[in-house]
Amino acid sequence: MKTNNPNPIPNRRKFLKGFSFALGSTALGLPLLSLNSCQAGGSSGAGNEEQVSQEKQNKGNSNKMGIALVGLGNYSTEQLAPALQETENCYLAGIVTGTPSKAEEWKNKYNIPEKNIYNYENFDQIADNPDIDIVYVVLPNSMHAEYTIRAAKAKKHVICEKPMATSVADAQRMIEACNQNNVKLAIGYRLHYEPFNKRVMELGQQQVFGKVQSVEAANSQDMTKDSPDVWRLDKELSGGGPLMDVGIYCVQGACYTLGKAPVAVTAQFGEITNPEYFNNGVEQSISWKMEFDNGVAAECTSSYAREANLLAGKAENGWWRVSPAYAYEGKEGETSEGEMDYENVYEQVHQMDGQAQSFRNNQESIVPGEMGLRDMKILEAIYESARNNGKRVEIS
């Protein structure tokens, strides 16, 4: 299963043009007007019914933190918004989109008040909206830093999708902005809230089967089955190829298996066999080794031209294997002692509930911005090694 269905976006200019589509109606800082609000005429009965419905919804959400989703692509549409209908600590309070038709559709589907609908020009006005406590940035990777920083300046807590940014420098700027504005920052690392991967953390970090000897991780999805006209294959928007998108799960898996970061990496790019898709600096595949200070090595692979989904470990007195390990559902796991007997859970529900609870209690998330920064340092080191034919790169 794909971890995130790609959205067809030809290039950055066209993508950003889409964000600005409603500029004409918002040049004075006004929120997007829905088609219904322009055509409503004078049906006071319908207006009263909507008001009563909204009052009921607000009463039910009075003890929850309000989340605004920034970017209404497939992940927001298919995973996050449905999950927010089941969360206990947070709810879908608002949206940010550059597409008026999406604003209207979401407004009607989720009963979102007009005042909680923003676009990319009036986004900063979200600072004046008490309904919204958390901004969830679900945009192409290259835009994570800008909207995280703008959300922080609006005094809103932030959840930012992975990878945190496209550079270490941007990740640092994001953390600094949140610290300066006294808001919390968490990364969308949902697997920290999921039982199969939490069990892997226990097996590795608590040395249930003795000292860990090795880790193996693979996460790939075949992008060549669909059109190459997607933002994930545009380096300016994505920051890289499969390593930045699905390979980061392997980095995460190795780190949380051992409970620490690697000290060095070596990496190699794979051969490009589909130049139609991989001709603009985005790698088709990449393999790398992560070295840890206890002598353990993690062998990892990621590709956009095949399918793989594995996190495995070997220890002195046993082993474990989860496959698929990173998909939204269908996880299966086993150890040298038998099957992992866990239910698949709605991971985004657990993730956002956990993050909202930490924000409410003024506590650091279990997946804080600092973890995202750590991972960006690892990703940059992997790319540096691959560009230099497998040179060993130490991570400070």
Per-residue pLDDT tens digits of the chain, which is 396 residues long: 334 443 344 344 444 444 433 333 332 233 333 323 333 333 334 444 444 445 445 556 779 999 999 999 999 999 999 999 999 999 999 999 999 999 999 999 999 999 999 999 999 999 999 999 999 999 999 999 999 999 999 999 999 999 999 999 999 999 999 999 999 999 999 999 999 999 999 999 999 999 999 999 999 999 999 999 999 999 999 999 999 999 999 999 999 999 999 999 999 999 999 999 998 889 999 999 999 999 999 999 999 999 999 999 999 999 999 999 999 999 999 999 999 999 999 999 999 999 999 999 999 999 999 999 999 999 999 999 999 999 999 998
Active site residues: 162, 249
Query: Could you give the CA distance from residue 301 to residue 218 in angstroms, rounded to a whole number?
Result: 5
What is the per-residue pLDDT for 279?
Answer: 81
CATH 3.40.50.720 residue spans of the chain:
44-54+62-188
Topology classification of domain 191-345+366-394: Dihydrodipicolinate Reductase; domain 2 (3.30.360)
CATH 3.30.360.10 residue spans of the chain:
191-345+366-394
What is the per-residue pLDDT for 38?
Answer: 31
Q: Which CATH superfamily is domain 44-54+62-188 in?
A: NAD(P)-binding Rossmann-like Domain (3.40.50.720)
What is the per-residue pLDDT for 61?
Answer: 78
- By DSSP bridging, strand 318-322 and strand 308-315 are antiparallel
What is the per-residue pLDDT for 54?
Answer: 52
What is the per-residue pLDDT for 57?
Answer: 57
Strands of the 185-187 sheet, one edge to the other: 117-118, 90-96, 65-70, 134-137, 157-160, 185-187
Query: Which burial class, exposed, middle or buried, applies to 21 when counting CB atoms under 10 A from its CB (0-12, 13-18, 19+)?
Result: middle
Torsion sign over Cα 320, 163, 328, 306? negative
Strands of the 308-315 sheet, one edge to the other: 338-339, 333-335, 318-322, 308-315, 212-220, 297-303, 285-291, 264-269, 393-394
Phi/psi for 73 (5° steps) reads: -80, -165
